[in-house]
Amino acid sequence: MDDDKRDKSRTESIGMLFGVGAYGLWGLFPLYWKRLSSVPSLQILMHRIAWAFALTFALALLLGKRRLIAELLRDRRRLGATIAAGFLVSLNWGIYIWAVNAGHIVETSIGYFLNPLVSVALGSLVLKEKIDRGIKAACAIAAVGIAVLTVSYGKLPWIALSLAATFSLYGLIKKLTNLDGLTGLAMETAPVMPFAIGYLVFEELAGRGAFGRVGGVETAMLVLAGAVTALPLFFFAEGVKRVPLSRMGFLQYISPTLQLALGLFVFGETLTAPKAAAFAFIVAALVVFAATRPRRARDGGAD
Read off the pLDDT band of 143 (50, 70, 90): confident
Task: Please give the residue that has the higher pLDDT: either 247 or 185.
Answer: 185
Q: For 77-113, b where at least 16 C-beta lie within 10 A, e where not — what string?
A: ebbebbbbbbbbbbbbbbbbbbbbbeebbbbbbbbbb
Read off the pLDDT band of 228 (50, 70, 90): very high
Rounded to two decimals, the pTM is 0.84
Residue 294 clears pLDDT 60, i.e. is over it: no
| Chain centre distance of CA 207 | 33
Read off the pLDDT band of 251 (50, 70, 90): confident
Q: Is 259 exposed, middle or buried (0-12, 13-18, 19+ CB in 10 A)?
A: buried
Residues 76 and 239: beta-carbon distance below 8 Å: no
| CA pair distance 168, 122, nearest whole angstrom | 8
| CA pair distance 100, 267, nearest whole angstrom | 10
Task: Find the largest Cα–Cα distance for the chain.
Answer: 67
Model confidence over 154-170: pLDDT tens digits?
Answer: 878 899 889 989 988 88
Least confident of 16-20, 127-131, 148-152: 127-131
Residue 293 clears pLDDT 90, i.e. is over it: no
- The pLDDT assigned to 2 comes to 64
Least confident of 87-96, 170-179, 184-193: 170-179
Residues 177 and 184: beta-carbon distance below 8 Å: yes
Model confidence over 179-204: pLDDT tens digits?
Answer: 777 788 899 999 999 999 999 999 99
| Chain centre distance of CA 267 | 21
Task: Please give the residue that has the higher pLDDT: either 122 or 56.
Answer: 56
Read off the pLDDT band of 303 (50, 70, 90): very low
The domain segmentation of the chain, as residue ranges, is 13-299
Which amino acid, residue 193? M
| CA pair distance 279, 76, nearest whole angstrom | 42
Residue 30 clears pLDDT 80, i.e. is over it: yes
Return the closest-CA partner of residue 139 out of 158, 115, 156: 115
Residues 257 and 109: beta-carbon distance below 8 Å: yes
| CA pair distance 45, 91, nearest whole angstrom | 9
Model confidence over 201-215: pLDDT tens digits?
Answer: 999 999 899 998 888
Where would I find the H helices in 102-213?
105-125, 133-153, 158-177, 181-189, 193-205
Q: Work out the mean pLDDT of the chain and round it to a whole number.
A: 84
